[in-house]
Chains A and B, each alone.
Chain A
Amino acid sequence: MQRRRFLGYLIAAPTLAVGAKLTGDSVLSAEALPSPTPEVSEVYDLSDLLLDSTRPTANLITIVVNSDGTVSFTIPRAESGQGITTTAAMLIAEEMGIDVSDVTVDLADARPELLFNQQTQGSASVISIYTPVRVAAALARGRLVEAAATILGDEAENLRTTGGRVLSTAGSSVPFAELAAAAANEVTREAITELKPVDEFEIIGTEQRRDDVVAAVTGRKKYTMDLDVPDALPTMIARPPTIKGTVESVNNLAQVKGMPGVTDVVEISTDAEPGRGTTSSAVAVRARTFGQCIDAVNALDISWGRGNVDGESDASILEQLRAADAPANLPSPGPLDEVGGQLPLVTEPVGDVLDGVGAVETIDQEFVFYWRSNAAMEPNVAIADVRDGEAEIWTPSQIPIVTQTQLAQVLDLPQSQVTVHVPRGGGAFGRRLFSDAALDAARVSKEIGKPVRLMWHRADECRAGRVHPMCISRVRATYSPTAGEVVSFEQRHTSVATDYTESFGDMITSQAAKLPFANELTLSQTVFLLTASVPYDLGAIALGYNEIFDFDRFATGSVRNLNNQDFRPAQELVVDQLAARLGEDPLEFRLDRVEDERAKAVLEAVRDEGGWGEDLPEGVAQGVVVHNEYKGSVAVLAEVDTRPGTAEREIPGATTGPRVRKVTVAVDVGLPINPLGLKAQMEGGVMTGISHVFTGSLHLRDGNFLEGSWDDYRYTRHWNAPPEIDVIVMPPSGDRPGGAGELAVGAATAAVACAYARAVGEMPTSFPIGHTKDVPFEVKDFVPPLPPSPTDGLEAYPAPSAAGPAFNPAS
């Protein structure tokens, strides 16, 4: 059978360089090709036709074979721990016959010509680069083989590549290093190639360690704040005491400017949505060290104006969410109408499901999900040098082109004068889909005419940072006890607006998105409808989404797994209730109703490998769910121990309480590229799920969040992590990879919630469960804005001296 052929480019360069488009349009049909021949990786010379080609080559991704035989690739994606650079190196190594360690992958600067193709979100990186990167690598291999044929005196079709060498059938070989220059191209021209068949893969599907693992564990890995940019001195910001507040006056400017180490103090706009008109402002301090920045920020005497949500608290938001919740209307004899401005999605028609089932009973349950932070360990950071009509920025952006566009706008510079470098990030989770830190840094640098190294304090991340919005999810399910079937399932999700405007990347989309109601109608609804699913056959199904407020009333954003981190737990808890009322085993109930073979297989895998249904002591229980998203399937089986001996363990300042003691995950992503990285992503998703169920939340009180650091914001720590976690990577079920970064979050949250509900015999309806129990920390001051650094660090180890008693979120 004729294999698919792909179009790429040989690029004029001193050593071999090849390029491929990052868009998916480079597939050629065999019929369209001149004189097609069947050789693998053969490169066709179309240069005569294409010397004056109008086909743009500017938007290519390029692979370069260096004179030492190693291969370099610059990827237009962020690397924040998800492992995409390692994955890309594997794809290149596979196609070229070179060791993975001989491929270096760096991150590309903002490249506006790539348009939509430089964003890292939606677990889409592997899906989007899988073919283009291999096309470029295959072209490179083809050129190397061509060059080697002359030297080895053999036909190209007889040659193979392995270990960074081209080998002839007679056994002679030549290393890539000796071919890199010989294979170089004098002119840039189009070429076509074929890809290595899946059944010949030797690297894809094998476990590979991260490309930067040694650098990371030796302290040599450089994050933005570690870069050596001359004169870029530490800079921090004094932020208002309420969300999106403003500076009215700075009352002791001269005094603070005279503090030790301080070089500059300047008021800046902190408007993160340039061009829209929501204005917030703050005061920036540049000093010799960050410690002196913290002291100077806290010494500032600032008169603050009103914030954007002054007076709002959890309770007032909940009231507004409930007021916006549209009435449920299933079962209903006809098609659903628009209700209260809501666009219900009916995935299964009501049709004749009501026929002959007799009387139905109803479960109608509201679930509340409080605010969450997606703060990474590395806070929001950027280095900026804005001088002489140019701007050079370093920031670990997930959307560097948008960052560049926004910088150009606020700096009043042509976009071509703004360079955005993308260092490796210390976590992202959607947080770096916004350019807040880059805008802050650029504004300060422009104002003072000096380079700055700007870092958000951890308190800023909690109080001025992006949040996953508070929301409610209402589920109304009907079932027929006589027929033993679920008749209808309706889920209505109502949320504070999520700001999706930047994550859509494109300038035009972004601007259109900022029209009144556009966020909800064009973005939020779209995101919801594209991601919300019910993996089970539950009769007639209707889903709907509403939101309150403009997109920028709060600073919200895309947090790992978007709506599904709430939507799916609410749904699965009710599925468990349905199973109980119909007298069925929760896992078998799901297995009987999943419609997808891969989902069935992962469920069976956790059932068989995770010990589903085994005898457990009272107070210990299991929960299981399956989830399909990002072209993959995942099942999570969690076991939660709520017994007093576990829940009341004492570690100062810790969140103790119920412990997830064992988790089994089975994951099918189609074609797994690096099972080791895939397992890591699943484990990370589980840790986030545990946080979501028990304690990871922000408390809104009078216009700002109470949490002011880690320990206040209680993400999963060692003391919460399951002692036993097993991730089963299913064998390939397809010939393309799916996404993994977010896949486990909603599923793990749901499985842990279901297990907890069963262990305590009562379904929780508000998450995290500890949120409404207590504020288990002393609230840090809002003025001055930063908690001062303690001075007792020599004595206070491991627990800080301020650590209070352990907090049990279930007590």
Chain B
Amino acid sequence: MPPRTLSVNGRQVTVDIEDDVRLLWVLRDVLGITGPKYGCGINVCKACTSHINGRAFNPCSVPVSRIGPTDEITTIEGLPDTVGADLHPMQEAWIDRDVPQCGYCQPGQIMAAVDLVKKVQADGGSITDDDIDEIRNMCACGTYARIREAIKQGAENM
């Protein structure tokens, strides 16, 4: 199989891997990028939520062959670079509100929140409780109340 070129967090990387391996495992097992987490492998828990060309998606359910060399993959590790800072405003809000407990789902929660806020703002609105209600990212520690506050706070600085 020919080496495949990917763009991850602003860097070009080359991997040798079969076409049908889902991107999550290419990131984690081949490239050692461990911010996106496994929680279900079937696109229901959303722990692996990352961005492709600035929009949220779930790499557990995308064969690597569907990613082109010009597609920009951003994981939680690369999120601050998208705003040219040490931390994205959403991460700052997360820290301010001390959102995480175990923390395992939080990279995915943050990536989903950033996408949602961008979408709402692009439509000319501001984030509402109803918008937040539709986020699917699962948290077994039950940090939802603080996530709700942090999204509203982070959105103000986006």
Give me the interface of A with B, judged by CB distance under 8 Å.
80-83, 209-210, 212-223, 225-226, 228, 234, 260-261, 288-292, 294-295, 375-379, 424-429, 455, 457-458, 651, 653, 676, 680, 683-688, 709-711, 715-719, 721-723, 725, 786-794, 796-800
- For the complex, give the distance between the alpha carbons of A260 and B40 in Å: 22
Bound complex: CA A295 to CA B20 (Å): 10
What B residues does A375 contact at CB under 8 A? 140
State whether B59 touches A717 (Cβ < 8 A).
Answer: no
The number of residues on chain B lying at the interface, defined by a beta carbon within 8 Å of a beta carbon of chain A, is 76
Q: Is the CB of B102 within 8 A of A378?
A: yes
Asked if B57 and A684 sit within 8 Å, CB to CB, the answer is: no
Query: Would you call the interface of chain A mostly helix, strand, loop, or mixed?
Result: loop
Which 7 pairs across A and B sit closest by C-beta, in order of nearness? A219-B35, A687-B142, A81-B102, A793-B61, A426-B104, A216-B103, A721-B144
B134 at the interface (CB under 8 A from A): yes
Q: How far is the CA of A212 from the CA of B98 in the complex (A)?
A: 10
Chain A residue contacts of B34, Cβ below 8 A: 219, 222-223, 225-226
Closest to A688 in B: B142
Query: Hey, which chain B residues are within 8 Å of A378, CB to CB?
Result: 37, 39, 102, 104
Question: Across the interface, which residues of A come within 8 angstroms of B23, CB to CB?
Answer: 793
What is the CA–CA distance of A80 and B106 in the complex, to the nearest angstrom? 14
Shortest distance between the CB of A587 and any CB in chain B (Å): 23
Decide yes or no whether B158 CB sits under 8 A from chain A.
Answer: no
Q: Which of B75-102 contact A (CB under 8 A)?
A: 75-77, 80, 87, 91, 94-95, 98-102
Which of A83, A228, A377: most chain B Cβ within 10 A?
A377
Determine whether the beta carbon of B25 is less than 8 Å from that of A291: yes
| CB atoms of B62 and A794 under 8 A apart | yes
Measuring CB to CB, which residues of chain B are less than 8 angstroms from any residue of chain A? 17-18, 20-26, 28-30, 32, 34-47, 52, 55-63, 66, 75-77, 80, 87, 91, 94-95, 98-107, 110, 112, 129, 132-148
Evaluate contact between B29 and A289: CB separation under 8 angstroms. yes
B143 & A793 in contact (Cβ 8 Å cutoff): no
Q: Are A212 and B112 in touch, CB under 8 angstroms?
A: no
- B-chain residues with CB within 8 Å of residue A213 when the two chains form the complex: 94-95, 98-100, 103
Total A-B Cβ pairs within 8 A: 249
A719 to B135, CA, bound (A): 8
A212: min CB distance to chain B, Å: 7
Given contacts A217-B95, A790-B43, A797-B56, contact A684 B143 (CB under 8 A): yes
Q: Answer whether A217 and B106 are a contact pair too, CB < 8 Å, given A289-B21, A719-B134, A793-B58.
A: yes
Determine whether the beta carbon of B136 is less than 8 Å from that of A798: yes
In the complex where A219-B77, A290-B29, A684-B101 touch, is A455 in contact with B38 (Cβ < 8 A)?
yes
> Can you identify 23 A-B contacts, CB atoms within 8 angstroms?
A81-B101, A81-B141, A212-B103, A213-B95, A216-B106, A217-B110, A218-B87, A261-B18, A289-B26, A290-B25, A292-B21, A427-B101, A458-B41, A680-B98, A709-B45, A710-B40, A717-B138, A718-B134, A786-B41, A788-B42, A793-B43, A794-B52, A797-B55
Given contacts A210-B98, A218-B77, contact A683 B142 (CB under 8 A): yes
